[in-house]
Amino acid sequence: MDGSEMGTVKREESSSTGSLPVAALVTAGLLLVLNLAVVHIGHGWDLSKGRVHTLDAAARAVLGEVRKPIKVTVFNDRTDAATVAILERFRRANGRISFELVDPEQDPARAESCGATKKGMAAVECRGVRRLVPFVSEQTLTGAIAQVAKMRAKGVLFTAGHGERSIKSGEDSGIRTAARILEAAGYGVAQDRVTAETLAKAAAVVIAGPKQDFAPEESERLLRFVRAGGGLLVLLEPPPATGLQSVLAPYGIRARDDLVIERSRDHRYGELGPTVSYVRSYCSDHPIGARMQQTALLPLVRSLELGDAARKADCVVALCSSSADSSGGLPNSWGETDLNQNPARWDSGRDLPGPLALIAATRPDCPSAGKGKVVIAGTTSFALNRYIRMLGNAEVFEASVSWLAGDLEYPVLPPSEQQEKMVLSDRVLDMILVVSVFLLPGLAALAGLLVFAKRVA
């Protein structure tokens, strides 16, 4: 091989050797850009079984109709990776949705102003309208977003003149908190007598704890109001207060003169007595029951009788009931008719065994309700200032009024398929970010430089 050929070979080797570090640096640069782009864009592929990390199609449809800015504020004392992941999916699906994590212990005033009484609760707000959710999930956020985004000014009339509870009273026996929950949700709240003028301004009517019956003309006005498309929520007091038979009879519902007693530990809450029913499940094929996410406490409940004709026509349904079955020769629950007896004792000749309807509602398109809707609760106590912030009592109350006012028309999402999940701490997630974005590309670049240095040497 002559000198010219030797020179050519050396130049080719030098050229090849010199291109290695360039290729390594280009590759490292591309990896770095790709990693940063993925992290910034936040796009990913859900390869999990059942696609549990992808928003349901119904949720995406709701978010696709959102045209207003919506703020989600989560009140928790720690950053929950699962909660943040859900919020990020909603934000990516619609850029008008933003979220903030607030520590209620660091900012208790803000939590109180939003009505967040427990850690994990979230406030969903849109232009002054707020809905509280008990915890962050795809179902709760979808429902709240659908409600605040479509909310229109509607009135809710609390009746007066029959010994009803006052929406202005801040005492334990008042219902001011319930009224404020509705106001925060965008409803105009007023308390007045039942007249043609007051009913004309209302989408729903709440009768909260009447002591006396309604006059025949008032009952007739309420019936016409419901059949024309209005909503009616009746919260009853225990006997001897009125059972409002003149108001309830057209819908095939009657309030019994009893008090529900619970013996079953599954339907008792903590050390609360047998006159407080602990509701753990609801009728899932009714719009209200299908959307309930929490248990509830119903104190001092009188049972409701659903007429045979209404049942056969599938016109009314028990949203929740007392416990069934029996133990030790006694029913697990019953309707105590001797209200002067303390403690309560089962009387097989007079008392009715459970399950007993505690809250009842008409079905959609019920003939007796015409175009309207009716919900009857055998208790007012769960909505009082003393109890409404306990467990899911506020959710039951607000969902009932929302359904009656026509604002519960959002999809019920199917439950996600459960699978084993690995939850990573924030520190581990930060380490993964550093390794994937900086360390691995840096090692690739370093390897290229070492190869180059070896070949040069």
Say whether both 189 and 305 belong to one domain.
Answer: yes
**pLDDT for the residue 167:** 95
Do 124 and 187 belong together in one domain?
Answer: no
Last residue of a domain, one of 89, 108, 141: 141
Q: What pLDDT score does 382 carry? A: 95
Q: How confident is the model at residue 417 (pLDDT cuts 50, 70, 90)?
A: very low
Q: What is the CATH number of the domain that holds 87?
A: 3.40.30.10
When pLDDT is averaged across residues 285-290 and rounded to a whole number, the result is 88
CA angle, residues 93, 99, 102, in degrees to nearest 5: 155
Average pLDDT, the chain: 82
**132 - beta bridge partners?**
123
pLDDT tier at 9, thresholds 50, 70, 90: very low
| % of the chain with per-residue pLDDT over 70 | 82
Residue 212's CATH number: 3.40.50.880
- 233 and 176 housed in the same domain: yes
Please identify, among 83, 116, 141, the residue that sits at the C-terminal boundary of a domain.
Answer: 141
End-of-domain residue from the set 96, 120, 141: 141
Whole-model pTM over 0.75: no
Boundaries of domain holding 435:
18-47+423-456
pLDDT of residue 170: 92
157 & 137 share domain = no
pLDDT tens figures, 294-330 = 899 999 999 999 988 777 777 899 999 999 888 878 8
Residues 166 and 300 in one domain: yes
327-359 per-position pLDDT tens digit = 878 898 999 999 888 888 898 889 899 899 999
Q: Has residue 53 got a pLDDT over 70?
A: no
Instruction: Let me know whether 222 and 358 are in one domain.
Output: yes
Residue 52: inside a domain:
no
Mean pLDDT score, 406-416: 65
* Same domain assignment for residues 78 and 186: no
Between 109-113, 192-196, 366-370, 429-433, the lowest mean confidence (pLDDT) is in: 429-433
286 with 352, same domain: the answer is: yes
Q: What is the pLDDT of residues 105-154, one digit of tens each?
A: 888 888 888 888 788 888 898 888 888 888 888 888 888 888 788 767 78
Q: Is residue 415 part of a domain?
A: no
Report if residue 73 sits inside a domain: yes
pLDDT of residue 47: 46
- Give the residue-averaged pLDDT of 226-254: 93
134, 257: one domain: no
> Residue 34: pLDDT above 70?
no
Residue 358 or 1, more confident: 358
Q: Does residue 347 lie in a domain region?
A: yes
> In terms of domains, do 302 and 217 share one?
yes
One domain, residues 266 and 390: yes
Which amino acid appears at position 338 of this protein? D
Q: Is the pLDDT of residue 157 over 50?
A: yes
Question: 3-state SS string over the chain?
Answer: CCHHHHHHHHHHHHHHHHHHHHHHHHHHHHHHHHHHHHHHHCCCCCCCHHHCCCCCHHHHHHHHCCCCCEEEEEECCCCCHHHHHHHHHHHHHCCCEEEEEECCCCCHHHHHHHCCCCCCCEEEEECCEEEEECCCCHHHHHHHHHHHHHCCCEEEEEECCCCCCCCCCCCCCCCHHHHHHHHHCCEEEEEECCCHHHHHCCCEEEEECCCCCCCHHHHHHHHHHHHCCCEEEEECCCCCCCCCHHHHHHHCEEECCCEEEECCHHHCCCCCCCCEEEECCCCCCCCCHHHCCCCEEEECCCCEEECHHHHHCCCEEEEEECCCCEECCEECEEEECCCCCCCCCCCCCCCEECCCEEEEEECCCCHHHCCCEEEEECCCHHHCCCCCCCCCHHHHHHHHHHHHCCCCCCCCCCCCCCCCCCCCCHHHHHHHHHHHHHHHHHHHHHHHHHHHHHHHC
Domain count, the chain: 3
